[in-house]
Structure 1
Amino acid sequence: MGTKFLTSTQGSSMQSMLRVVLFGNTGADKNNVIKSMLIGENLTGEKNGLCTLYKSERAGRRISVVEAPGWHGHSQQTPENIKEEITRSVLLCPPGPHALLLVIPVKTLSEEPSVGEMNAAEMHMELLSERVWKHTIVRFACDEGVEEPTIRKHVQSAEKILEKCGGRSHVLQTSACGSQTQTSELFQKIDSLVEESRGDVFIPQAYYELIQKKTQEASGATELRQRRGSLQHNPPNVNKHKGDSEEKKSAETARHSDDGSKITMDFTQFVLILMGAFGALLGSVAGAENGVRGSFIGVVFGIFVGVLVALFIMYVYTHFYSKQTTQSAS
């Protein structure tokens, strides 16, 4: 999102600006978490509604921490003003927080959190949308003197939430809240989270929907421009039907021409045969006066004369009558 990266002496990438929002139920000791991030800093924050904004600068890093209002234990009947403030908390560090810390307190004398408490934490986080888990780290804030078995019980109770946020978690021991090691570990996990999400920050749902709408509109406009460009480079053939009609007409003309040629050929053969037969008949009748020999000669001569007459008739038809008929048709 345009955030500048710095490189620490350990070689891990760190961001010059760090924006974090803290969530947790009422009574969760979120102040210990804030102290662990803003060591030695004045914790007097700026009140904004029910949220509190803390700002600091450490080792060249500008840090903004927003404390969101808590909810009551395992109650899922949250007042509307609390829901609104939880949603508004992510708007106090624009363009959006790099990480969301869900604080789960680990008390010395208490057993692990109830299923109802974990369900309430899950429900309140998802007021920000399902996308919230991509940017969430679960922070177990332990009282001083809490033993390892108690911590493990709390981690097991939060198993469903940890699964949703990819297992990202961090344990804060109260006795070590001012430790440089504690702070470095937290910052390293936040930096790793930012690297995983390729620098993306959590965008509030209203902005996210607006971005999606603008993206869809831009995509639709791009598709429309591509279609227009395609039409400009490949315009529709407005003469297509005309060309098809002319092509059809040419095919029909060629077919009629072929049919005409066939008819002409058949007619020629018919005329030759007819005239030959007619000439043979006349020749045989004329030569019959001279006997059989005369009749035979008459037939041959008659066929010859008949063929000549037929050829003459076809010549006249082809060179005169047929041309006149074609010109009249044109």
Structure 2
Amino acid sequence: MQHDIFPFHFALTAVFFSVSSNKLQELRIILLGQKTVGKSATGNTLLHKEVFASSQNEQCQMQDGEVSGRRVTVIDTPGWWQDSSCCTDEIDKEIARGFSLSPAGVHVILLVIPLDLTFRDSQRVTLEDHMNLFHATVWKHAMVLFTYGDKLADKSLEEHIEREHSALRWLIEKCENRYHAINNMKKMDMNQVTELFEKIEEIVAGNSGKLFCPNMNEMHLRFEEMFKRKQLKHWISGSCRAKLSIWSK
């Protein structure tokens, strides 16, 4: 497969490891997900400081800091609506701008899902619509991050996934079985953060150190195509409802 066919490219940024601990010295992370899933709180937990507002953000924010000897950059993005028909192209464009805040690219895309949410087909369709704005290789850099880790109680994360709707198992498979749970109520528990960083390092190693860096111009073309499809879908739906209304009289 020839790489020049695709409109997306990857930043071949040098990956630096600490000689003493053999760990990445820099991590670039972007958080994606629907509204009210705990993305901002997660960003605060990862950076071990309160830098992201908990209120619903309409714009992307980037913050960084030193965490356990690493330079960590976190990009928080606006949440999308659960119903894909309510999502606007403005939200998608702002999410795209989030990627542009890190010109070198990001090591991982964390798809944030709360453990107290039943992830069904409607959520799957909406999430897939947003991920389709990027080249399919975006999934090689994606990981599911469950929030509200305290909701697990005595269950293991694997048990939760197995008992949930098949849509969640589909998502886990798309992310090549990469997932992690975090409890934002226990911000002082750095073990959960360290374990996540170690899993991100495995993703980076699996991608030969390449960061995900979408081509913004090509992505905006996809926005326009998707917006036109939504307009056509709404027009057809409205036309059908009008005809049904006439026939019912």
Partner Cα distance (1:114, 1:179) in 2: 30
CA 1:91–1:49 in structure 2 vs 1: closer, same or farther (change >3 Å)? farther
Using the size of structure 1 for normalisation, the TM-score is 0.55
Partner Cα distance (1:36, 1:166) in 2: 25
Q: Which residue identity does 1:3 align to in structure 2? A: V
Q: Which residue identity does 1:6 align to in structure 2? A: S
Would you say 1:134 and 2:140 are equivalent positions? yes
CA offsets, 1:15-41, max 9 Å, x none?
2221000001011111332133112x2
CA 1:163–1:190 in structure 2 vs 1: closer, same or farther (change >3 Å)? same
CA contact (8 A) 2:115 2:151 kept: no
| Structure 2 residue corresponding to 1:37, chosen from 29, 46, 55 | 46
Aligned-pair Cα RMSD in Å: 2.5
CA 1:57–1:154 in structure 2 vs 1: closer, same or farther (change >3 Å)? farther
CA 1:208–1:97 in structure 2 vs 1: closer, same or farther (change >3 Å)? farther
Indicate the structure whose relative CO is greater, using CA pairs within 8 Å and at least 6 residues apart: 2
The structure number with the bigger radius of gyration is 1
Q: Which residue of 1 aligns with 2:203?
A: 193
Partner Cα distance (1:156, 1:142) in 2: 20
| Structure 2 residue corresponding to 1:82, chosen from 77, 85, 91 | 91
CA 1:128–1:176 in structure 2 vs 1: closer, same or farther (change >3 Å)? same
Partner Cα distance (1:44, 1:24) in 2: 15
CA contact (8 A) 1:129 1:205 kept: no
Q: Which residue of 2 aligns with 1:51?
A: 60
Partner Cα distance (2:165, 2:196) in 1: 17
Q: Secondary structure, in 3 states, of the residue corresponding to 2:63?
A: strand
CA contact (8 A) 1:33 1:177 kept: no
The gaps in structure 2 that reach 5 residues or longer are: 1-12, 220-249
CA contact (8 A) 2:43 2:52 kept: no
The gaps in structure 1 that reach 5 residues or longer are: 210-330
Partner Cα distance (1:33, 1:51) in 2: 14
Q: Which residue identity does 1:201 align to in structure 2? A: L
Using the size of structure 2 for normalisation, the TM-score is 0.72
Output aligned runs, 1:80-159, within 5 Å: 80-107=89-116, 112-142=118-148, 144-147=150-153, 148=155, 151-152=160-161, 153-154=163-164, 156-159=166-169
Output aligned runs, 1:272-287, within 5 Å: none
| Structure 2 residue corresponding to 1:67, chosen from 67, 76, 86 | 76
CA contact (8 A) 1:74 1:116 kept: yes
Would you say 1:5 and 2:11 are equivalent positions? no
The size of the alignment, in residue pairs, is 200
Partner Cα distance (2:101, 2:34) in 1: 20
CA offsets, 1:148-205, max 9 Å, x none?
2883344853111221221111112344343121011100000010000010000113
Output aligned runs, 1:193-212, within 5 Å: 193-206=203-216
Partner Cα distance (1:183, 1:120) in 2: 28
